[in-house]
Structure 1
Amino acid sequence: MPNTLKLKYSVEHHVFGVCTKIGEKLGISTSSIRLYFVYVSFITVGSPVILYLILAFWMNIRRYHRQYNNPSVWEL
């Protein structure tokens, strides 16, 4: 796999994790959610960016709590 594809998948996994999770929950394609997010951000002068950051923070906290409550064998 070329380095550009690895970079693309890495960026999409870390940056667009919120859009991917919303798409999975609602059954909508991730690319359309990203487009709607961009359009709404332009229309409302960037206020959805705050919502995006809150959701990203929430997802990070949930992941941390799952790892803390269910440690792997290597972390014991």
Structure 2
Amino acid sequence: MMQRILTFFERHSFGVCTYLGGRFNISINKIRLFFIYSSFLAVGMPLVFYFFAGIVLDIRNYVKRIHSRITDQ
């Protein structure tokens, strides 16, 4: 049951924690815990960063897809 919940959030989240974990070679769970705990301490400011980073990553992936379509033709 717990694995299904984690899989759901992995597929439908922005992928910010996965990107940061891969980029800095840190465990994804540690990054998630950092965002959760720091959100309580900083009254939600890390959530603003998380959503902003998610939007930037989505735009970056969109540009990569468009670029690969253009270069394939």
**Corresponding position of 2:28:** 30
**Corresponding position of 2:64:** 66
In 2 relative to 1, CA 6–42 (structure 1 residues): closer, same or farther, beyond 3 Å?
closer
Paired-residue identity, %: 34
Q: Which string of whole-angstrom CA distances, capped at 9 and with x for unpartnered residues, describes residues 10-50 of structure 1?
A: 42133151001101111110001000110000000101111
State the Cα RMSD in Å: 2.4
**Corresponding position of 2:52:** 54
- Considering Cα pairs closer than 8 Å and 6+ residues apart, tell me whether 1 or 2 has the greater RCO: 2
Deviation of 1:6 after TM superposition, in Å, equals 5.7
Q: What amino acid sits opposite 1:43 in the alignment?
A: L
CA contact (8 A) 2:16 2:53 kept: yes
Normalised TM-score (structure 1): 0.79
Work out the CA distance in 1 between the residues paired with 2:32 and 2:5.
Answer: 18
Uncovered stretches (5+) of structure 1, i.e. residues with no partner: none
In 2 relative to 1, CA 6–71 (structure 1 residues): closer, same or farther, beyond 3 Å?
farther
Uncovered stretches (5+) of structure 2, i.e. residues with no partner: none
Work out the CA distance in 1 between the residues paired with 2:32 and 2:52.
Answer: 16
Structure 1 runs of 4+ with >4 Å offset: 4-7
